[in-house]
Amino acid sequence: MDTPEPSTPVEPPVPDADPAGSVEEPAGTDTDPPATRPADPAVAQRLIEAEEPARGAAAAAASLDLGEAAADSAVGEHLEAVVEDPDSLTHYFAAQQPGYRGWRWSVTLSCGGAEDPVTVDEVVLLPGADALVAPPWVPWELRVRAGDLGVGDLLPTTEGDDRLVPAYLSSDDPAVEEVAVEIGLGRAKVLSRAGRSSAAQRWHDGPRGPGADMARAAPGTCGTCGFFLPLAGSLRAGFGVCGNEFAPADGSVVAVGFGCGAHSDVQVEPMSPVAVAELVYDDGVDLEPVGS
């Protein structure tokens, strides 16, 4: 009896290697850019020529608020036509109604094909580049400026205000730390380094700083004035409070470089309250005898 020879296993076919070493991506992957249908010149031309239907749509929208009598005059000259996509185009017309200088009527038209009708998609009134519009929205907490707070007004600090740090943290001010340790008390929040730096810069650049006109005309600086009361802490070297009731900065924080005419060292030369005429000398003047 013949014994059958064992069959030789068949190896799976190996695909040919790409000479460049790259693997060909299958068709239809996510990396393929979306297909864009080319614009039909006939559709584009029909949308461009539909200027009058677009004007009529704008006038119809204007009549809803202005009435039919004033609607036609509210839509002015044709400004431009902007292609939105292969099937739509927007016509822009000048708005003629009072108070809307620079505004434009925007009418978007669409057409699905050369045999399809042109339809109106949207009619809106939009501001142009030189239109009079409301200022950008500013949150309430960003609108408040120095001096806005009045009697009875409340101004809470915002969460995470970098000008303040919890008092149980280091205040970064040796004078504050010394007092807090000594008496064992403290405030809930204290000024941070950023808060003190901001205040110092604001005071230095403000009307009580060394750059003020009054400071440049003063006979001396606040740092050398006897009415100057230095602040405590790290701001002591740069700022203090004026204690002269006759000075314009009385009770206000002033920089050491500020000054005014009420400096403690100002002295005025004493003068006679009676006006004295200048002396006249008659030396060298010929005198004539009386009755000659």
In DSSP notation, 163-230 reads TEEETTS--S-HHHHHHHHHHS---SEEE-HHHHHHHHHHHHHSTTSTTSHHHHHSSS-GGG-TTEEE
Torsion angle of C-alpha atoms 68, 74, 80, 83, degrees rounded to 10: -40
Residue 262 three-state SS: coil
| Single-letter amino acid code for the residue at 200 | A
Q: Choose from 22-31, 34-43, 88-97, 136-145 the range with maximum mean pLDDT.
A: 88-97
Half-sphere exposure of 163 (CA within 13 A, CB side): 8
CB 126 within 8 A of CB 103: yes
Q: What is the pLDDT of residue 166?
A: 72
**pLDDT tens across 180-239, in order?**
655 545 567 778 888 899 999 999 999 999 999 989 988 899 999 989 999 988 899 999
CA distance 92 to 124: 10
**pLDDT tens across 223-272, in order?**
999 899 999 888 999 999 998 888 889 999 999 999 998 888 887 666 66
Q: Look at residue 132 and tell me whether its pLDDT is greater than 90.
A: no
Average pLDDT, the chain: 79
Q: What is the pLDDT of residue 274?
A: 65
CB 131 within 8 A of CB 103: yes
**Residues composing the chain:** 292
Report the 10 Å Cβ neighbour count for 270. Answer: 6
* Predicted TM-score (pTM) of this structure: 0.44
